[in-house]
Amino acid sequence: MTKDDVTAGKTAAIVAYLTIVGSLIAITMNLEPKNAFARFHIRQAFGIHLFFHALAIGLTFTGIAYASLVLFLLYLFLWGFGFMQALNGNKKEIPIVGSYFQKWFTFIS
């Protein structure tokens, strides 16, 4: 991946981390022209947001307050890690779940 590819896809990559709506906007931003750097970070961000919302909904029904605090801190750590990688122009997977996000969200092209 060249420096021009990173520069061209950086905006979409950063927008993807803002919210889950930002991820959807970034998907449309990356439709034409397609950028591998943006695609990588869109998958990572979409996975983080989807993972957090799914677990938050699940924990709502269990009523475990401490688990939701731990979940939020984990979300902030993963989000911050991914966001900093996008800002710095790096293509590094999020710890533990990043490789799964790349496999699961192949529909994001």
pLDDT band at 18 (very low <50, low <70, confident <90, very high): very high
The range of the structural domain enclosing residue 50 comes to: 3-104
| Residues 6 or more apart in contact with residue 26 via CB below 8 angstroms | 12, 13, 15, 16, 38, 41, 42, 45
pTM over 0.85: yes
Query: Residues 6 or more apart from 59 whose CB is under 8 A from it?
Result: 67, 68, 71
Residue 15 lies in a domain: yes
DSSP string, 50-69: HHHHHHHHHHHHHT-HHHHH
The dihedral sign for the CA sequence 37, 38, 41, 42: negative
Domain count, the chain: 1
**Which pLDDT belongs to residue 65?**
67
Residues 10-19: what's their mean pLDDT? 91
pLDDT bucket at 108, cuts 50 / 70 / 90: confident
* pLDDT band at 70; cut points 50, 70, 90: confident
| Alpha-carbon separation of residue 41 from 12, 51, 65 (angstroms) | 8, 15, 31
Give the pLDDT confidence of 92-101 residue by residue, as tens digits: 899 888 888 8
The answer to whether residue 37 is domain-embedded is yes
Asked if residue 109 belongs to a domain, the reply is no
Q: Is residue 32 part of a domain?
A: yes
Each residue of 51-68: pLDDT tens digit?
Answer: 898 888 887 787 776 777
